[in-house]
Amino acid sequence: MIIHPIRTDEDLKKAGKRIEVLWDAAPGTLEEEELELLTELVCAYEEKHCPVMPPHPLEAIKAMMDMKGMTIADLAPIMPRNRAYEVLSGRRPLNLRMMRGLHELLGIPFECLMQEYPLKVS
């Protein structure tokens, strides 16, 4: 088992192919150890070179509402209906109280909800 650092996208592709070969490695074998090490290297490379940006806050809210089968009326404990329409249309920013409520109700991470975004001018 010779494992090399992943420094380029080509190295990443090679590691991915090797991971596919090793995927069903038996527990406690050298192949399993190789799989574990390669997986760690791939994760480290992707974290550094392929960061995943959080979604736009309003898109995250709409997506989670859709996934949970919720409507604007379901946001009533957090904000009045007219305020929810203003927020979801991008005409009003989220405030801290709204962010806390949306985090609790929809499970959206704070770092997503706290992103700044331009407001639409009415």
| 36-62 confidence digits (pLDDT tens) | 999 999 999 998 998 878 899 999 999
Provide the whole-model pTM: 0.61
- 98, 79 contact by CB (below 8 A): yes
- 21, 15 contact by CB (below 8 A): no
Token pair in block for residue 16: 């991915």
Q: What share of residues in the chain are helix, strand, coil (percent, to 5)?
A: 60, 0, 40
Going from N- to C-terminal start, the domains of the chain cover 9-49, 57-113
- Specify the fold of 57-113: 434 Repressor (Amino-terminal Domain) (1.10.260)
User: Quick one: pLDDT at residue 122?
Assistant: 64
- 92, 121 contact by CB (below 8 A): no
